[in-house]
Chain A
Amino acid sequence: MHLFNNHGNSFPSLLFLLKIATRGHALLKKKSDALTVQFRQILKKIVSSKESMGEIMKTSSFSLTEAKYVAGGNIKHVVLENVHTASLKVRSRQENVAGVKLPKFEYFTEGETKNDLTGLARGGQQVQQCRVAYVKAIEVLVELASLQTSFLTLDEAIKTTNRRVNALENVVKPRLENTISYIKGELDELEREDFFRLKKIQGYKKREIEKQLASAKEFEFAEKDSSQKGISRNSAHNLLSAGREKDEDIIF
């Protein structure tokens, strides 16, 4: 297809634009469908994840209560004292899903968790268990965070894609189609006008020819007529010559 005119600028024809608009519309629709499928899957996972999170938090909470009980009082102060740099952190990567970059979180441990809970007289074991429970909780929570951010990002992406699909369908394509049909209509009309003109001219010409024919016939007829009249002239001559003696006026 001719895309460039002689000056090197892009000069696509309307029909070509319509073709690519239609193609783009179909592709974007596919993308939107693929994203929506992912979206629903993630949503399901989120719902079930949140349920299990509720369970895990309960377990961890019990474990903490146990530890507090065994440690004989509030371990809050000791724990707070011990906070320095976080040993449990997250890192994020991007995953490409159906053309959309989705974030994914992973938790990792860095450095040594300070086991310096020497302020606790008793209950080291329970405290350990409690710690394990909460680390497990973090694992579920980070997974949930991943799902959630993917979910929100997908939501945005789906909205954008659907906006584009609708724009193509309701604005771009109708405009192109209207312009194309308008131009076609104009061309048809011009053609009809030309045709009409042609017919008219043919009609004139025909009449001209007929006129000429008619006048030619008249002339022929007149000729015939006059030749006939010629014969009567001769007979008139005879008459005249016959009647010569009688008529003195006729000079021969």
Chain B
Amino acid sequence: MANRAQIPTSNSALIAMIADEDTVVGFLLAGVGNVDLRRKTNYLIVDSKTTVKQIEDAFKEFMTREDIAVVLISQYVANMIRFLVDSYNKPVPAILEIPSKDHPYDPAHDSILSRVKYLFSAESVASGRR
């Protein structure tokens, strides 16, 4: 048990966001947004002009920052960097895939749920869809 990485308990950690404009604006309205003295933000607005590299870099940065506990990412953005998202095995920061206006939530692509696909029988997925 000594080899397992300790999950840091913190008193105050941020929620990061990589999503489309509307989603980010909504969350910023709620007060999730953070800009520090060095103008580093905890969010990235993804639009048609954002490159995959930019998304990758932001994701990597958020995952390594000590003060971020949760990373919200639109599912269609997550699909663009699927390999990167799937390769992360750390429980913290937690990666949550959220739907966006044009892309409703699809559990089949969720990186967490796909890991335990074998546990899903046809019934449990179908019952959810009702």
Seen from chain A, the residues whose Cβ lies within 8 Å of a Cβ on chain B are 40, 43-44, 46-48, 50-51, 53-54, 57-58, 60-61, 63-65, 75-76, 79-80, 82-94, 101, 103, 105, 107, 109-110, 113-114, 127, 130-131, 133-135, 137-138, 141-142, 144-146, 148-149, 151-153, 155-156, 160
Contacts and interface: CB of A to CB of B under 8 A. Distances in A.
Q: Sorted from nearest, which 9 A-B pairs have the closest CB atoms?
A: A87-B31, A134-B30, A86-B34, A83-B33, A145-B94, A54-B105, A152-B91, A149-B91, A113-B31
B114 to A, nearest CB: 12
A46 B105 CA distance: 14
Given A63-B26, A153-B91, 4 more contacts: A57-B98, A83-B34, A137-B30, A145-B96
Contacts of B94: 105, 145-146, 148-149
A89 B15 contact: yes
Contact of A47 (B41, B100, B113): B113
B90 to A, nearest CB: 8
Interface residues of B, number: 52
B91 A92 contact: no
A43 B10 contact: no
A92 B99 contact: no
A15 B101 CA distance: 66
9 contacts: A43-B116, A57-B23, A75-B25, A84-B35, A92-B69, A94-B7, A138-B15, A141-B70, A141-B96
Interface in B1-46: 1, 4, 7-15, 21-23, 25-36, 41-42
Given A60-B26, A148-B94, A53 B105 contact: yes
B110 interface: yes
Nearest to B30: A134
A54 to B, nearest CB: 4
Nearest to A94: B9
B28 A80 contact: yes
Contacts of B8: 92
Interface in B39-64: 41-42
B119 interface: yes
Contacts of A93: 9
B92 interface: yes
A105 B70 contact: yes
Pick from A44, A53, A137, A148 the residue with the most CB of B within 10 Å: A148
Given A138-B30, A149-B91, A144 B119 contact: no
Contact of A91 (B12, B21, B26, B101): B12
Given A90-B15, A92-B9, A148-B96, A141 B72 contact: yes
Contacts of B25: 64, 75-76, 79-80
Contact of A50 (B27, B29, B42, B107): B107
Contacts of A127: 29
B12 A83 contact: no
Nearest to A103: B7
B34 A61 contact: no
A88 B21 contact: no
Contacts of B36: 85
A92 B31 contact: no
